[in-house]
Structure 1
Amino acid sequence: MLETSSRLLSLLALLQARPAWTGTELAERLEVTTRTIRNDIERLRELGYPVDATRGAAGHYQLGVGAKLPPLLLDDEEAVAVAVGLRTGAGVVGMADSSVRALTKLEQVLPHRLRRQVNAISSTMEKGPDNTGSNVADPEIDPGVLTAIAACIRDEHYLRFDYEIPVDVPIRGPGSGVGSDLPILVEPYRLVSWQRYWYLVARDDSDVWRTYRVDWMSLRMATGRRYKPRPMPGDDYTEFVLRDVASTGWKVHARIRVLAPAQEVLSRIHAAVGIVESVDESTSVLVTGADSLEIVAVYIGMLGLDFHVDGPPALIDHLKTIGNRYLNAIP
C-alpha cells in the first residue's frame, strides 16, 4: 500500500488521466478502501485541487474548474513533449516571455533523465527561417488581443476596433479588410493563422465577408452586444482567407489556366500557394499571388503541368525572359 503522500499523487494522476472515476474504481486501483478515497479527495481539495463528486447510482469523482491553476502531473512523454514544444514550437509571436517562464518552471521539476532528453533534442535540432520568401519581419501579436477576439467569437458578441493599413510599407497578405476613420463594427467568426500572420474572418455592417489582419487591429471597448450568428456556408473560413489574400493581398496577382483537372493541381501545390478553381474535367484555374514576379514564376514552374498565362503583362514578360534564359542554357 502506498504512503499517504505518494497515494495522493497517484490519485491525482488518475483523476487527470480521464474525466470520471467511481470511488470503487479508484479504491481498487490504489488498493485502499472507498473511505480512504473519500479522505484523500478531501486532502486534495484542501491543497487547491477542485474535485467534484456526483452522488447516486452513477456517482463519480472528477476534477473540476477552480479559481486558480493547480500543479499538473505529467507523465514522461507529456513532460518532454511540452518542454520541446516550448523551446522549438512556432507559437504566437509576442508570447516569447510567457514561453520562457513556463519552460523555466517545467525544467525546474523535470527529473535529470528527462531534462537530458529535452536538452538532447534541443541541442541536435535546427529550425529553418519561418519568414521564407520575404524580408518583412514577422508581426508582433499581443496575446491579449487574440484572447479578446476569441472571447467575442465564443460569446457571439460584436467586435469593435480601429483598423489602419500601413502606407508605403512592403506588406504581405492584407486581405479585403479596409481601413476607416471610424471604428469598425463586425460579427467575428473565426481566427485563422496562415504564414505567420493572424487573420480575423468577420461579417461587416454591409453584410460582406472580410478578412482583417490582427496586427493592424486596435480593439475598442467591448460592446457586450450579441449578434445572431450566420456562419459561412460550409464553414470554409480557412479557404476564404487563402482565396481572399491570394486575390487581394499580394504585390503580384495572377490567374493561371492550367491544362489539368483541379484535383491534379491540388496534389502538386502547397495550400499556401493559392486557390484552385475547377473549370472542366481537364482544365482548372490557379489563383495565386506573391511579393514578386519571380516567386509567382516559381509557383507555376513547380506545377510540372502545361499552362496559359493571360496576365498581368509584367508576368508574361518575365516568363518570356526566363523561358529564353532556360533555352539559351541548353548547348
Structure 2
Amino acid sequence: MLDTSARLLRLLSLLQTPRAWPGSELAERLGVSGRTVRNDIERLRELGYPVDATRGTTGGYRLGAGAAMPPLLLDDEEAVAVTIALRTAMQGAVPGTEETSLRALTKLEQVLPSRLRRRVRTLMAYTVAVPADRPVPAVSADVLTTLVSACRDQERLRFDYLDHAGSPTRRIVEPYRAVNWGRRWYLVAWDVEREDWRTFRIDRIQPCTPTGPRFAPREPPGGDVAAYVALQVSGAAWRHHARVTVHAPAAAVAERINPAVGTVEALDADTCVLVTGADTMQTLAVYLGMLDFDFDVTEPPELVTHLRGLAERYARSTGKRPLRWR
C-alpha cells in the first residue's frame, strides 16, 4: 500500500508539468507496466484529480483544471527557488502582492521537511535587500492582470496614458506582451493610430473597459521582445547618441554589447557600425574604450572633441608628447 501511495504521488508530480505524458513514458519513469499506469490514472480521478487523456502521436495524459489545487510537489532545489521568488515578491515590486506572498511563504515553510526548513529560514534571516536609491514605480496587480489578459485574448485595449513629459493621452493598441525589466514593467503593443510598435510604462497606464474587438496577431518587433524593450527604453533615456565604425566583425562586437547599450550593424566581414548612447560624453568614451577594438567616430562632433582631449591626457600621463590632430 505504501508503494502504491508513493507511486501515486510521483505520478501526480509528473502530471503537474505543462506537457502531455505518453503512457509508455510514464510507465518507464515509474518502473511499472502500462496497465498499472492506467489503473493509477483511474485512482487519481477517483480522488478528484481531473486527468485528461488525448490520442495520437502528440497525445498522452495531462492534469486538467479542477475545483481544487493538487498537492504541490517540489524537490529540494525547487522549494528553495520558490522561497527566493516569494521573498523577492514581498519587497513590493507589484503592490498588493506583499501580504499574499508572505502568506504563501509561511505555508510553504510549514510543510517543508526539516532539512529544507533550516535552509529556508537561513535564507530569510541572513539575506537583506538594499532599498532602491529612487522611488520604485508602483504597478497595480489589477492593471497588470487586465493587460496580460488582453494579450492572451488578443483584444484591443483603450487606456489613458501619461507620456514622459507627464501629458495625458488616450491610446488604442493591440497588446502583445508585458515585460519585466528590473523593478519596472512595460507593455509592448501595436499602436493602432500611429501604426507602429510602441513601449508603454505600465505604471502610467489606466485601462478603459470593456476591451475592444479581437485582432490578428503580428510578428513581434525584432523577433525578441525583451531586447526590443531594452533598446527602446535605454535609447529614449539617452541624452547623447553616437554612431561609431568599429574595425572588427559584427559578431565579435555584439558579444560585448548588451542590447540595452546599443545595436550592431555589419558593414563587411571585418567592419561594423555601432549605434549607442549615454547620458554623458564621459560614459560614452568609457563604453568605447572597453570595446578593445579600433574605431572611428562619425557623430556627434562633441564626442570627437572629447575623445581627442582624452587621448592627449592619456599621452601626457605616459610622458609622451601630446598627439597632433589635423
1:173 aligns with none
CA-atom RMSD in angstroms = 4.1
Q: What amino acid sits opposite 1:102 in the alignment? A: A
1:255-293 superposed Cα distances (whole Å, 9 cap, x missing partner): 222222211211222332121122233322222223333
Hey, what does 1:41 align to over in structure 2? 44
Aligned to 2:138: 140
Q: What is the CA-CA distance between 1:6 and the residue it aligns to?
A: 6.3
Structure 2 CA distance for partners of 1:232 and 1:28, relative to 1, 3 Å: closer
In 1, Cα distance between the equivalents of 2:249 and 2:138? 40
Matching residue within 165, 168, 171 for 1:167: 165
Are 2:64 and 1:64 equivalent residues in the alignment? yes
1:210-255 Cα deviation digits (max 9, x unpaired): 2222222221113241112232476343343344334433233222
How far the C-alpha of 1:158 sits from its partner, in A, is: 0.6
Q: Which of 199, 202, 224 matches 2:189? A: 202
Kept in 2, the 8 Å contact 1:250–1:290? The answer is yes
- 1:14-33 correspondence to structure 2 within 5 Å: 15-16=15-16, 19-20=20-21, 25=27, 29=32
Q: Match for residue 184 of structure 1?
A: 171
Flag structure 2 segments of 5+ consecutive residues without an equivalent.
Answer: 320-326
Aligned position for 1:154? 152
1:105 aligns with 2:107: yes
Instruction: Report if aligned partners of 1:257, 1:308 keep a CA contact under 8 Å in 2.
Output: yes
Residue 304 (structure 1) aligned to one of 292, 300, 314? 292
Report if aligned partners of 1:145, 1:219 keep a CA contact under 8 Å in 2.
yes
Please give the alpha-carbon distance, in whole angstroms, between the structure 1 residues aligned to 2:100 and 2:306. Answer: 46
| Structure 2 residue 75 is matched with structure 1 residue 87 | no
Q: TM-score, normalised by structure 2?
A: 0.76
- Classify the secondary structure of the residue corresponding to 1:271: coil
**In 1, Cα distance between equivalents of 2:224 and 2:38:** 53
Aligned partner letter, 1:311? E
In the alignment, is the contact (CA less than 8 A) between 1:202 and 1:209 conserved in 2? Answer: yes
Helix, strand or coil at the partner of 1:93: coil
Conserved? CA contact 1:254–1:311, under 8 Å = yes
Relative distance call for 1:225 and 1:33 in structure 2 (3 A) is closer
How far did 1:303 drift?
A: 0.7
Amino acid at match of 1:140: A
Residue 50 of structure 1 corresponds to 50
Counterpart position of 1:263: 251
Q: CA 1:202–1:28 in 2, change beyond 3 Å: closer, same or farther?
A: closer
- Find the aligned partners of 2:183 and 2:196 in 1 and give their Cα distance: 25
SS of corresponding position for 1:269: coil
Q: Distance in 1 between matches of 2:138 and 2:10?
A: 42
Aligned residues: 312
Change (3 A) 1:90 1:328: farther
TM-score (norm. length: structure 1): 0.75
Q: In 1, distance between residues paired with 2:115 and 2:206?
A: 46
CA spacing shift, 1:232–1:88, aligned 2, 3 Å = closer
Once residues 37 and 293 of structure 2 are traced to their aligned partners in structure 1, the CA distance between those partners, rounded to angstroms, is 69
Q: Which residue of 2 aligns with 1:330?
A: 318
Label 1:108 to 1:230 Cα distance change in 2 as closer, same or farther (>3 A).
same
**Letter paired with 2:82:** V
Q: Is the 8 A contact 2:23 2:37 kept in 1?
A: no
Partners of 1:89 and 1:64 in 2: CA distance: 28
Task: Give the AA of the match of 1:118.
Answer: V
Percent of aligned pairs sharing the same letter: 46
Distance in 1 (CA, whole Å) between partners of 2:233 and 2:265 is: 15
Deviations 1:294-317 (A, max 9, x none): 332222221111222343344344
